[in-house]
Amino acid sequence: MKFDGPFAFLADLLFPPRCALCGAVVPFGVSVCPACEKECVRVDTCRRIDLAENGKTISCMVPYRYDGKVREAIIRFKFYGQTRSADFFGRQIAGLFPDAPRFDFVTAVPISKERRRTRGYNQSELVARRAAGRLALPYREVLIKTIDNREQHKLDRKERRGNVKGVYRAAGGGSLQGASVLLIDDIVTTGATLGECAKVLLHAGAKSVRCAAISEVLL
Ligand SMILES: [Zn+2]
């Protein structure tokens, strides 16, 4: 909640600002508490994701390592309904795209209908919507996950690519023809999921796809 003017002081008393990662009370204007700040591994890397199609690759920008307080915040975000970190993560991703005007829109890696029903939201979509807001770009839902496949983190590198093959498709409504897309996910490990989604977008007519993830796991 945000209040301005004479109400700001009262609002801070009633709703004190909290650390985006752990929820501890923080001073006004601070988004992450010192303990979390210390245990975040900021990497700001640009990874290449192999699309396994004539040597084609796409880039993926990643602000954090999947470790420490970032890992804890993502687990709470994904599995315990604590979505407070979405805005913070969205801002961190947005900050990595100073050339944002070249994109037509932002989208996210989808989750299945069943998963969405049980979780109530798609964590990557919440982050992507926040990033889009920061970048002054529209958010569009252009991908659907049609098969509830096995969880990627339970599989080895070789199995991961096969596990995501054919589970996504382009959503109807609105053309992707010639579009430059920024595609966002929560965690990137081998890049199999982002790569598969990017391929679907490119085959549906998108001109270019670049990716971002909140964090990376190094295998
Ligand atoms: Zn904290």
Q: Compute the distance from residue 118 Cα to the ligand 1 centre, in Å.
A: 27
> What is the phi-psi region of residue 174: left when phi exceeds 0, alpha when psi lies from -120 to 50, beta otherwise?
left
Check whether residue 76 and residue 163 sit in a common domain: yes
CA distances from 70 to 39, 47, 49 (A): 8, 19, 22
Q: What is the distance between the alpha carbons of residues 106 and 21, in angstroms, rounded to a whole number? A: 24
- How confident is the model over 10-34, as pLDDT tens digits? 776 778 899 999 999 999 999 999 9
CATH of residue 175: 3.40.50
Structural domain includes residue 115? yes
Check whether residue 109 and residue 203 sit in a common domain: yes
- Give me the number of domains the chain comprises: 2
Q: Compute the distance from residue 151 Cα to the ligand 1 centre, in Å.
A: 28
Number of helices (H), then strands (E), belonging to the chain: the values are 8, 7
For residue 22, the enclosing domain spans 7-38
Q: What is the distance between the alpha carbons of residues 20 and 87, in angstroms, rounded to a whole number? A: 8
Check whether residue 107 and residue 211 sit in a common domain: yes
Q: Compute the distance from residue 18 Cα to the ligand 1 centre, in Å.
A: 8
Q: Compute the distance from residue 41 Cα to the ligand 1 centre, in Å.
A: 14
Check whether residue 170 and residue 200 sit in a common domain: yes
Q: Compute the distance from residue 22 Cα to the ligand 1 centre, in Å.
A: 4
Structural domain includes residue 62? yes
Structural domain includes residue 130? yes
Structural domain includes residue 73? yes
Check whether residue 32 and residue 83 sit in a common domain: no
* 3-state SS string for 93-154: HHCCCCCHHHCCEEEECCCEHHHHHHHCCCHHHHHHHHHHHHHCCCECCCEEECCCCCCHHH
CA distances from 117 to 114, 130, 175, 182, 208 (A): 5, 21, 27, 25, 31
The Cβ of residue 75 has, within 10 Å, a number of other Cβ atoms equal to: 12
Check whether residue 13 and residue 118 sit in a common domain: no
Check whether residue 15 and residue 100 sit in a common domain: no
Check whether residue 15 and residue 91 sit in a common domain: no
Structural domain includes residue 2? no
Q: Compute the distance from residue 71 Cα to the ligand 1 centre, in Å.
A: 12
Check whether residue 144 and residue 208 sit in a common domain: yes
Closest CA to 196 of 209, 187, 180: 209
Q: What is the pLDDT along the chain (219 residues), one digit of tens a residue?
A: 555 666 766 776 778 899 999 999 999 999 999 999 999 999 999 999 999 887 899 999 999 999 999 999 999 999 999 999 999 999 999 999 999 999 999 999 999 999 999 999 999 999 999 999 999 999 999 999 998 888 888 888 888 888 888 899 999 777 899 999 999 999 999 999 999 999 999 999 999 999 999 999 998
Check whether residue 53 and residue 32 sit in a common domain: no
Structural domain includes residue 75? yes
Structural domain includes residue 1? no
Check whether residue 148 and residue 160 sit in a common domain: yes
Q: Compute the distance from residue 26 Cα to the ligand 1 centre, in Å.
A: 8
Check whether residue 76 and residue 175 sit in a common domain: yes
Q: Compute the distance from residue 76 Cα to the ligand 1 centre, in Å.
A: 13
